[in-house]
Structure 1
Amino acid sequence: MATVSVVSIFTRGARSSDTPEMRRARVQGDIDRATEAWGSGFFPGVRANINFVSFREYYISDVTIVANTVSSVNDARVQSLIMQARTVNNNATAMYVVYLSGPSLSSGAVGNGGPQTTFFNSATNYGLYGQVVLTDNASDSYLLAHEAGHVLFGRFTSNSSNSFTINDPSNPGNDHNDNPQNLMNGFVPSSNPFINEAQGNVAIQSKLILENNFSGMAPVSISASASGSLASGQYPIKCEKVPACPCCDRPKPIHESEKVKKINKEITKLIKEIGPDNLNLKFKPRTDPYRKCKCKCKDHD
């Protein structure tokens, strides 16, 4: 399977943030559902064989970010946490997920996310990482899997640095899919969300996938003792402050070329235009004709 690393960052007051066990359970649940959607797949869609793994988990006991004060993943406070996490993880290729407190963002969305580039040489030679925010209402859902889709769809359509897009490859010109059962619908199905062939073909080529780049770090498992030390209130990355811009107090990205700055500025606009990502609680999945099949392979004629 292709591998996507996930770095999870819990802020104080976020749902399931109280204990290491609760944090680990929420992270694992989100990761398992992302692997279900992008790995084995759901009927009537395809499987992309993408596996999500937990790389690092952090708890910030002295930072509270209330979701309804955040408009998107581009919020300066969220960006600061992501930049610090990237610093101490040697800029590892991963999806950096920040868990906020409160039911929804200021837009009403329960999640938001997208990619950022780290370097650009051509349409096939560039670096990328993901950034995501999730609210309390995103718990026990496929929101992480959905936001991962926005990251996985980040790509250049030509050798021009101006050709970056995060559009759904199966719905040209749109960030979301029109099918209410599709994982990338603006209202994410609460069960059995499928991906189609066009989506899977683009996702499997993403630079977020460790096997597709040379800058990623091998995923590691988090031991109980390691997670416990992070839960003590001493957030390790606090001691390595990311310098802020003197004019606006925003974190300054690490070693970012002028070309990459321009690309990421355009990507930031694209992420803002994605629109609300919410749950479709009224969605009823189609009946799986293979539900009684003992082998569960879904490869029948």
Structure 2
Amino acid sequence: MNRPQAEPWVPADDRGLAYGDGLFETVLVRDGEPLLWPQHMARLAKGCRTLGIPMPAAAELDGLPARAGAGLKVLKLILTRGSGGRGYLPSPVAQPRLLWQAVDFLPQPQRWESGVRVRHCRLRLSVQPLLAGLKHLNRLENVLARREWDDPDVAEGVLCNSHGTLIEATCMNLFWQRQGCLETPRLDGCGVAGTLRAALMERLEIREVSMGPAALAEAEAVWLGNSIQGLWPVVRLDGADGSRHGSWKVGPVHRVLQREAHELLGYPARFTS
């Protein structure tokens, strides 16, 4: 395997660059210690099995967080199939290319405290069960969805699949409480199975459901979350046309799930409301 690079130079024939043939992970690292590392490595391993890319050795991966340095960092790992093959047909003997980069990170505590405004996206995610849950390099759908708005007051966009079923936000997972039960979209056809989502489902009873946007109209609380930003309460949901579809006041019901998430990430777990 090619050596990991902190300042990556990728040749034009790299299959990750040419075809999106690879995987990536973004890991929150605090003073050299990675958060939710087992969940990240489990997802990476699943992706490697699915794509048929050899998983890097544990010793090679486990040493990278310490190289991120002191303070709060985001460590990005990119694993491609490497170079070789003919067109879409890969070489029968893959020589993966592992790249990494660590950057400083500042969370947004005002979004933890006061919540966020989000909107529905017009784009619909394609259904492809073989790739469902993976954090693969083909993220054009997310790029196109994120281009739908430039209003700084809108923090995220909610995505449905081509059948109209709720899936996720552009870069976060979606959770809600309905009739006293915690729920999150089932990701068996598309979407990214986030590592914070996985860790919360190990701790709490969170039902995976296949439901349309009407479920949010029935919700007592809605959140967006990932392993970098933590958990944001949703206080307003707009349609793709800007019309208001729902609103919530941040209260104690939001803080229960938020405390669980933030304990996992080392973020503040106590709030004023």
TM-score, normalised to structure 1, is: 0.24
Bigger strand share = 2
